[in-house]
Amino acid sequence: MNHQDVVAQLVDIVTPMAEGRVANITADTGLTGELAFDSLKVMDLMLAVEDHFDISVPVNALADIRTVGELATLIETVAGKHA
Amino acid sequence: MSADGSIPNRGVSATPTHNTVPLRRADFATLADALDYAAKGVTGANFHAGGKLVTAMPYRALRVQAMDLARRLASLALPRGSRVAIVAETSPEFVRFFFACQYIGLVPVALPSTINLGGHDAFVHKMRGMLEACGAAVAVASESFQRFLEEAVRGLDIVMWGEPSAFDSLPLDSAPLQPTGEDEVAYLQFTSGSTGTPKAAVITERALMANLRGSSDDGLALRDDDRFVSWLPFYHDMGLVGCLLTVMAAQRSIDYLDTREFAMRPRRWLELMSQSKATIAYSPPFGYDMCARRVRPGDIASYDLSHWRAAGIGAEPIMPNVPARFAELLAPAGFDAKAFVPSYGMAEASLAVSFAPVGRGVVVDWLDPVELSENLRARPMPEGRGTPFVRCGAAIAGHAMEIRDDAGNVLAERRVGRIMVRGPSLMSGYFLQPAKSAQVLSADGWLDTGDVGYMVDGEVAITGRHKDMIIINGRNIWPQDIEHIVERQPELRSQDASAFGVPGANGTETAVVVVQCNTDDVAVRTALVQRVRREIFEALAIDCIIELVPRHTLPRTSSGKLSRSATRSGYLERQALMQVPLASGA
């Protein structure tokens, strides 16, 4: 699975949660500033990500994640470690 | 084996509910005395993750480990009362460090362990502010927090910081241990100020133990067959005092679930309650609401909540429909609505101030909203009409509550005013903040809680909570923190922002900040709003409505300070005006 695939799958996960705030979600879309993901939404997102990609995202790994693309990279890193 | 020498789970079972020594309800002079006694039995703390027991830590083992660590910390030769900051994850390490401090007169301070999405800088900033505010001599955090801790301590005068294992390499000091005494400080509890100026309540052993006795004897009347479950974080007063210190001081066993795991999968709480046949668990209303919204109906029959005799509910205003919905949904799993114990408390009073009688459930007063807002009277209405408020019980033994008007006169029953509390479990003050302490603690021993409410049949009911505080997703958000984030923007200055909460959808609250800004350039304004919004998410993980207004238009009080309440009224009026044409056009 390459980066573009992960981004595409992530966009599919994020889109229904974004409640139409951004018409065209891309790798550059900001999860907080643009999509307005608060603490509960982030939990829902991580639950969906962990289930979909079958990974466990470390608690503090999100500290430097701001965009959809950065989260995709994190998912690849975590999945790679467990592969 | 785990780093702290606790028993890892290799088919090891959790500590038992029933103990081998007689139950004592926190009748000890200090926490060290309480742990010395608890260590004679077989009960303890159990840490669960992913639906499995990870570590069982009998109090007997905790005492040995805490004393060993205390001897190593003693080699640092810190003055008594020095602060030890612990990034408080739900782990055996936190508990071990907390109790090690108790054996050598050091003061533990729990720091938050939640980092928000994109929140790296905000977390470091917050941690640094707290380390400075408590003057930490030592800071400890697990391996995954080291990179943040390293940034936070830079330039601070800290004797030693690092991972728990680094402290295990310190030499053992041979001098006899001198545990924290009755009149020494048991711990500091931060009460506010995640980005602004942090404030920490100073709690002595004497105050704490009075509170633990009040909770375990008078409040919950703990029994031999009681067992706890908790997902509350240790940096929260309800998590630390209610679900660690009370539990240990009454030699009960407890099963812990990580807060993040609960937030992602609330059903784990109910699974753990069922498996362990727990009798007591606390949560803010938020936690019960999460369960009610997220539990799968098909799973309900698999839970057994029939042992749950005290379901503490408090720490934020209780909307009666929240416990009602939880109870209705989980009745088929044996949950008894009478198990709800509405309670009232605050970090400044160690924790508990009042408990509703155990076994009674939620009692609601329906009040006339006009009498309430215009005449500050709690006039009852027939059930189901008016505004509902939950009775939170009478003060625990040795404590008193009264209601006062703004002039300080004590009010009669069913008159609404400021809730004042007096008793042995109050804080000594806010750490190194005599002015702020004097604002809330009077010379004759009354604490002004800042909350608003009334007394009825000797019980307190809360009608308005701490002035200005906003509660979103179960967390306290202080307007000062939002204002601080706004005002640190380069194009703005202090006194340019006023933040407050407004009613949102379904009884929730929404944060709003009104910002003075002197540019009409749309691009500049848009960039400012987006940046502020993102930084608020990173620091506080909440959405916040940002309204820009021209400079010199924020209302002020007669003393020249920004008035949040006047700004809020103005905002609500503007919103109402905007909605009229929309509504009529629809």
Question: What distance in Å separates residue A67's CA from the closest CA in chain B?
Answer: 9
Over residues B102-125, the mean pLDDT reads: 94
Yes or no, beta carbons of B118 and A65 under 8 Å apart? yes
Specify the pLDDT at position B326. Answer: 96
For residues B47 and B279, give the distance between their C-alpha atoms in angstroms, rounded to a whole number: 17
Per CB-CB distance under 8 Å, the chain B contacts of A47 are 264-265
Specify the pLDDT at position B317. Answer: 79
Per CB-CB distance under 8 Å, the chain B contacts of A48 are none
For residues B30 and B415, give the distance between their C-alpha atoms in angstroms, rounded to a whole number: 39
Over residues A26-39, the mean pLDDT reads: 89
At what angle are helices B31-38 and B59-74 packed, to 10 degrees? 140
Kindly list the structural domains of chain B, giving each domain's residue range(s) and its CATH number in brackets, ordered by start: 8-283 (3.40.50.12780), 351-467 (2.30.38.10), 469-584 (3.30.300.30)
Yes or no, beta carbons of B543 and A60 under 8 Å apart? no
Question: What distance in Å separates residue A34's CA from the closest CA in chain B?
Answer: 8
pTM: 0.90
Yes or no, beta carbons of A36 and B543 under 8 Å apart? yes
pLDDT of B197 over the 80 cut = no
DSSP chain A: --HHHHHHHHHHHHHHHTTTSSSS--TT-BTTTTT---HHHHHHHHHHHHHHHT----GGGGGG--BHHHHHHHHHHHHHHH-
Question: What distance in Å separates residue A3's CA from the closest CA in chain B?
Answer: 20
| Cβ atoms of B63 and B39 closer than 8 Å | yes
Map B22-56 to HEC letters. CCCCCCCCCHHHHHHHHCCCCCEEEEEECCEEEEE
Domain boundaries, chain A: 3-82
pLDDT of B579 over the 60 cut = yes
Specify the pLDDT at position B472. Answer: 85
* CATH architecture observed for domain A3-82: Orthogonal Bundle (1.10)
Specify the pLDDT at position B242. Answer: 96
Q: Search chain B and give the residue with CA nearest A45.
A: B264
Over residues B47-76, the mean pLDDT reads: 97
3-state DSSP call for residue B194?
coil
Q: Residues 5 to 24 of A: which have CB under 8 A from any B CB?
A: none
For residues B251 and B212, give the distance between their C-alpha atoms in angstroms, rounded to a whole number: 12
- Give the pLDDT confidence of B287-333 residue by residue, as tens digits: 999 999 889 999 999 999 999 999 999 877 788 999 999 999 999 99
Q: Is B289 an interface residue toward A (CB < 8 Å)?
A: no
Yes or no, beta carbons of A65 and B117 under 8 Å apart? yes
Phi, psi of B573 (to 5 degrees): -65, -45
Helices within B39-107 (DSSP H only) = 59-74, 92-104
pLDDT of B6 over the 60 cut = no
Specify the pLDDT at position B541. Answer: 87
Specify the pLDDT at position B396. Answer: 96
Confidence of residue B2 (pLDDT cuts 50, 70, 90): very low
Burial classification of residue B550, based on how many CB atoms lie within 10 Å of its CB (0-12 exposed, 13-18 middle, 19 or more buried): exposed
- Give the pLDDT confidence of B363-376 residue by residue, as tens digits: 999 999 888 888 89
Specify the pLDDT at position B147. Answer: 95
Strands across the sheet with B417-422, in order?
B400-404, B417-422, B446-456, B459-464
What DSSP designation does B116 have? Answer: -
Pick the residue with more confidence: B8 or B451?
A: B451
Measured between CB atoms, which of A33, A42, A58 is closest to B541?
A42
User: Hey, CA dihedral for B394, B342, B350, B281, is it positive or negative?
Assistant: positive
Over residues B235-246, the mean pLDDT reads: 96
Helices within B160-237 (DSSP H only) = 164-168, 205-213, 237
pLDDT of B586 over the 50 cut = no
CA geometry: angle B205, B211, B214, nearest 5 deg = 140
For the ranges B352-356, B400-404, B468-472, which has the lowest average pLDDT?
B468-472
Place of tokens 């050091």: B106
Measured between CB atoms, which of A32, A43, A65 is closest to B264?
A43
- Give the pLDDT confidence of B436-488 residue by residue, as tens digits: 999 999 999 999 998 999 999 999 999 887 667 788 877 778 888 898 889 88
Q: Is A28 an interface residue toward B (CB < 8 Å)?
A: no
Q: Residues 195 to 214 of B: which have CB under 8 A from any A CB?
A: none
Per CB-CB distance under 8 Å, the chain B contacts of A38 are 472-473, 537, 541-543
For residues B134 and B115, give the distance between their C-alpha atoms in angstroms, rounded to a whole number: 20
Buried/exposed A15-54: b ≥16 CB within 10 Å, e otherwise: eeebeeebeebebebbbbbbbbbbbbbbbebbebbeeebe
Yes or no, beta carbons of A33 and B543 under 8 Å apart? no
Specify the pLDDT at position B464. Answer: 80
CB pairs under 8 A between A and B: 73
Per CB-CB distance under 8 Å, the chain B contacts of A34 are 530
CA geometry: angle B478, B480, B486, nearest 5 deg = 120
Confidence of residue A22 (pLDDT cuts 50, 70, 90): confident
Q: Report the percentage of chain B scoring pLDDT > 70.
A: 95
The rounded mean pLDDT for chain B is: 92
Measured between CB atoms, which of A32, A33, A63 is closest to B123?
A63
Q: Residues 499 to 538 of B: which have CB under 8 A from any A CB?
A: 530-531, 533-534, 537-538
Over residues B560-568, the mean pLDDT reads: 84
Q: Search chain B and give the residue with CA nearest A43.
A: B264
Confidence of residue B208 (pLDDT cuts 50, 70, 90): very high
Mutate to test the interface with A, among B117, B142, B293 (most CBs of A within 10 A): B117
Question: What distance in Å separates residue A68's CA from the closest CA in chain B?
Answer: 11
Q: In 10 A of CB B375, how many CB atoms?
A: 12
Over residues B214-227, the mean pLDDT reads: 95
Per CB-CB distance under 8 Å, the chain B contacts of A32 are 116-118, 533-534, 537-538
pLDDT of B26 over the 50 cut = yes
| Cβ atoms of B287 and B230 closer than 8 Å | no
Q: Residues 46 to 75 of A: which have CB under 8 A from any B CB?
A: 46-47, 50, 58-60, 62-66
What DSSP designation does B117 have? Answer: T
Measured between CB atoms, which of A32, A33, A43 is closest to B263?
A43
